[in-house]
């Protein structure tokens, strides 16, 4: 049975583990993509390149977050699958240019906010499908992801355009920030899931 004491402990620690494990996963993928995966598929089509990039990020971040969630939820392994699918689909389409590109600072920030919202909503939705049966309140996870990723992608794309940054700059800005903010969001929702599963 979940007690108030254990719920309080979760509120103190879950977002920390969520952020740290996700951050380690992001760094792991970035290093490996820069060192060997990226050069290996550099001549591939944008659609294939994006799908591999998304699959790598989705699989590793999904696994990292599953390590945190499996202590609290049953069947949380579905989180890994849903996360990988969302990342793969979005990055494949995005790299292939399906969502358009901004050319100046304002349009780049608009690109970041809209792309981030689409990605966050997709990610939140498929993750909600994995855990949504535990609580109706978990549907808030879709909106949390959409708003968090919209904000973070807008900030990252704005910095990238304003300071002429290239390469993985947006990953180094948007992904850690989104991990931090989404961790806080999950921190608020996890007690509701536990109350159903205790």
Beta carbons of 98 and 47 less than 8 angstroms apart:
no
Instruction: Give me the pLDDT at residue 5, please.
Output: 47
Please name which of 64, 53, 65 lies closest in space to residue 89, comparing C-alpha atoms: 53
**Distance between CA atoms of 55 and 88, rounded to whole angstroms?**
5
Beta carbons of 22 and 69 less than 8 angstroms apart:
no
> 106-150, pLDDT tens digit by residue?
888 888 899 999 999 999 999 988 876 656 677 889 999 999 999
Instruction: Give me the pLDDT at residue 192, please.
Output: 62
Average pLDDT over residues 3-28: 76
Share of the chain above pLDDT 70, in %: 85
Give the per-residue SS3 of 51-81: HHHHHHHHHHHHHHHHHHHCCCCCCCCHHHH
> 141-155, pLDDT tens digit by residue?
999 999 999 999 999
| Distance from the first to the final alpha carbon of the chain | 5
Show the DSSP H helices in the chain as ranges: 4-32, 38-40, 46-69, 78-95, 105-131, 140-162, 169-197
Share of the chain above pLDDT 90, in %: 46
């Amino acid at each position: 049975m979940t007690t108030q004491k254990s719920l309080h402990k979760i509120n103190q620690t879950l977002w920390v583990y969520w952020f740290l494990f996700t951050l380690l996963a992001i760094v792991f993928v970035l290093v490996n993509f820069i060192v060997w995966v990226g050069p290996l598929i550099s001549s591939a089509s944008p659609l294939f390149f994006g799908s591999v990039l998304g699959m790598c990020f989705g699989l590793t971040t999904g696994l990292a977050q599953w390590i945190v969630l499996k202590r609290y939820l049953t069947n949380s392994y579905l989180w890994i699958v849903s996360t990988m699918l969302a990342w793969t689909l979005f990055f494949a389409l995005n790299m292939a240019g399906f969502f358009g590109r901004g050319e100046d600072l304002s349009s780049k920030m608009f690109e970041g906010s809209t792309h981030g919202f689409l990605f966050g909503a997709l990610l939140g939705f498929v993750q909600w499908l994995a855990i949504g049966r535990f609580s109706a309140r978990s549907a808030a996870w879709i909106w949390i992801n959409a708003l968090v990723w919209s904000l973070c992608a807008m900030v990252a794309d704005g910095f990238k355009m304003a300071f002429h940054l290239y390469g993985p700059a947006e990953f180094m800005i948007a992904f850690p920030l989104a991990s931090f903010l989404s961790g806080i969001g999950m921190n608020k929702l996890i007690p509701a899931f536990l109350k159903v599963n205790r």
